[in-house]
Structures are given as structure tokens and as C-alpha cells.
Amino acid sequence: MKRILVVLAVLAGFGATAEAGPNGADVKAALVRCAEVTYPTPLAGCGDDPLTAGRVEIHKNGDVAATLTGALANASYDLVLHGANASATLPIAVVTTDTLGNGAFRGSSVFDMSQAGIVALTLGRNGSVEFVAGFSGERELEAGLVPCGAINTPAPLASCGTDAFKSGKAEVEEGDVKVDLSADPNMTYGVVFRGLGGGADVPLGTLTTDKRGRGSLKVENVVGEDVVGAGNVVLQRDGFDQFITGFQSTRKRPAIVARFQVGLLRCADVNTLAPLAGCGFDQLNKGEAIIDDKGDVSVHLMGAVARSTYEVVFVGADGTTEVSVGMLTTNPAGNGQVIVRDFFPVGARGVGHVIVKRDGVDQFVTGFAVSR
């Protein structure tokens, strides 16, 4: 028996502007193999990694969670949010699997207040997209509707209308599509499905709001229950996209007190106040070091030297005292991470730098880079 879950959150007093309402919107979607997507069209650039099950969620409070079951063992996947333009991307996290191919990520307040994006999430490895947020049979895609003009992460959308919006949700499950909307009264919208890989929109039907501004559309058997799809439901009127499935955060990121969280730079790239001596020349796309209030130390590398072992050390502010934190090994894409629990004891107070070495040579250091 098909299960259709409909939740309408009425956002009282929400006007015609594209600002985040008090309840925002969130996304809950199955992760499916990129290579298996056929609706509305197959995707390009897919890898061939296995996957038994997966799920990704972005909550209206800005939290992000992702789980993988039966993926490639001992692998690191880059979780990325995309925009409508393929060049607009925002790396979110690295999801690392164990010897069984199972992995998970959970991040609090990853997105800040009023950040909003569409359902365009991928997990990639070695330059190929392996898994995408989508649907297949009972593995549903459920997402809030967001005003097109409110989308701003990683980039705004084009051709957006300005219709007033109160609340709404769309769901794809077991081949059926269900859309609910609360907006202005007596409005008629064309509902389409826009594939993750682009191409022509697929018409689904028409939704008309009543005198209270409420409307719904249910289309059964849009695809077969064994069909794998990925993309967004879009509501259009007067030639513009008005609403689209996505997430919208409504909570400000909490203040971080005495927490060390900073990006990593190539040691050889440091030029302020003076260059550093004795640096290596390893490549690096992105990196981060975190020491949290539990004493845990975590370091993440993306785009470093592939299949290499790095040592993470903490160096005191005077530069004379150094302590080894742990080791990490990068995958074929140069991505890797290490998390050392309870490295610093309760009551520790410290100041210094995290340095990542290879073969005893400083490769990456904590610091900042000005880009504009």
C-alpha cells in the first residue's frame, strides 16, 4: 500500500517577499546510484560504485545528515550541494566508509539563517559522481517548496517569479507525485519535474489554489516503481519559476566559544607576514582543522596527493613545542580525514597551529587566505 505523507506548515503572515519563513523547509531524500538514474534522463559523469541504501537530509535548522550502506569499502565520498548551473557547487563534507562500505556524516548548523538551496546533492569520488539525492520505489524524495527567488546557495536561480508563498511540500514515492501548496488564492500553476542533469522539463499537471490559497496535485504512476530518478519539482506561472523543491534554513548558527576551527593552506603559499621555511609543495584543494570543546581533533583534506600518508601535529604558539596528533591516508582522489577523540584533556587551554606533514616536511598549515 502506498504511503503518502503530507505535512503543511502554515506560515502566518508570510508576505510576497522571498525571505525565510519561521518554519523554513527541509529535504529528505534517498541516495541512489548515479549510474542507475533514468528519469527524466540518464546522468553523465557517473561512477560505478555499489550502494545498497543511502539517505541524505537537510533540516530547516541547518543540520545535515547522510548515511551510506553497502558502498565501496574504505572510501571517501565528497558530499556536494549544486546549483542550477553545474559550475556552482558547495562542498559540504567528506563521508568515509568502513570495511563494510557503511558510512555516516552528521553536521550541526551547516547552513546559516536564510540560506536556501535546491535538491541537487551528490556524493562523488575520484572525479566521478557516484550517488545522488533522488527516488526509487519506496525510497522517496520529500522536500519543502521554496520560493525560487529565495534560493541563494550555492548560487541564485534565474527566471524567478515573485508570487507570495506561505508553505508547501512535494513528494515522489512509488512512482506517484504529490504536491501541496498554500499561497495566494485562485492561482493556477503548471507543475513540472526538472531533471538533475538538465534537459527539458517534464509536465506533471496543473495545481490551482482555492479561495483560501490552498491547492494540491496528485499524479499517480508518473514512473514505474523500479525507475530511479533525480531532480526537482517546480511550480510555474506566467512564464516564471515560482516555487521549487529545496531546503531553507531558519536558525542562526550558534556562537562557538573557544573552539578552534580553521582552514588549511599549503605551507609554500604563505606570504604574510613572511614566507615559511622548509615547506613541501604538495597540492591541496581544500582543508580544515577542528579542535572542539570535547577535546576532539579532526582534520579533513580534499585534493591532496593521492594515496599518501600524512602526519597531523599540533605546534605551540612559540613554534618550539610539537606534539603528534595522528595519521591520515588519502584516497585516490587525494581526500582523507582523521578524527582523534579526547586528544586534549578536560580543562586544557591552548594556543597554536595544526600542521600536516608528509615525509617529515610541513605541507599544510592552519591559516587564512584573502580572495577578494
Is residue 2 assigned to a domain? no
> By C-alpha distance, which of 91, 74, 26 is closest to 250?
26
Is residue 332 assigned to a domain? yes
- 255 band by pLDDT with thresholds 50, 70 and 90: low
> By C-alpha distance, which of 225, 89, 199, 214 is closest to 145?
214
- Residues making up the chain, counted from first to last: 372
User: What is residue 371's predicted lDDT score, i.e. its pLDDT?
Assistant: 75
169 residue type, one letter: K
Same domain, 225 and 354: no
Task: Please give the residue range of the domain that contains residue 114.
Answer: 27-248
User: What is residue 253's predicted lDDT score, i.e. its pLDDT?
Assistant: 80
Is residue 371 assigned to a domain? no
User: What is residue 47's predicted lDDT score, i.e. its pLDDT?
Assistant: 97
Long-range contact pairs involving 319-325 (C-beta distance under 8 Å, separation at least 24):
322/355, 325/297, 325/299, 325/354
Instruction: Report whether pLDDT(372) > 80.
Output: no
Question: What residues contact 78, with CB distance under 8 A and at least 6 apart?
Answer: 91, 93, 94, 123, 124, 125, 302, 333, 335
Give CA–CA dist 158/132, Å, rounded.
23
- 10 band by pLDDT with thresholds 50, 70 and 90: very low
Same domain, 285 and 238: no
Instruction: Report whether pLDDT(3) > 70.
Output: no
Same domain, 38 and 135: yes
- 347 band by pLDDT with thresholds 50, 70 and 90: confident
The tens digit of pLDDT for each residue in 107-132 reads 888 999 989 999 999 999 999 999 99
User: What is residue 225's predicted lDDT score, i.e. its pLDDT?
Assistant: 86
CATH of the domain at 303: 2.60.40
Report residue 158 as a C-alpha cell: 534565474
Same domain, 125 and 201: yes
Instruction: Report whether pLDDT(12) > 90.
Output: no
Question: What residues contact 353, with CB distance under 8 A and at least 6 apart?
Answer: 314, 315, 317, 365, 366
- 318 band by pLDDT with thresholds 50, 70 and 90: confident
Structurally, how many domains does the chain consist of?
Answer: 2
Where does a domain end: 217, 248, 279? 248
Mean pLDDT score of the chain, rounded to an integer? 90
Mean pLDDT of 90-104: 94
Backbone angles phi, psi at 55, to 5 degrees: -155, 145
Same domain, 284 and 243: no
Query: Under a CB-based contact definition with an 8 Å cutoff, are residues 365 and 276 in contact?
Result: yes
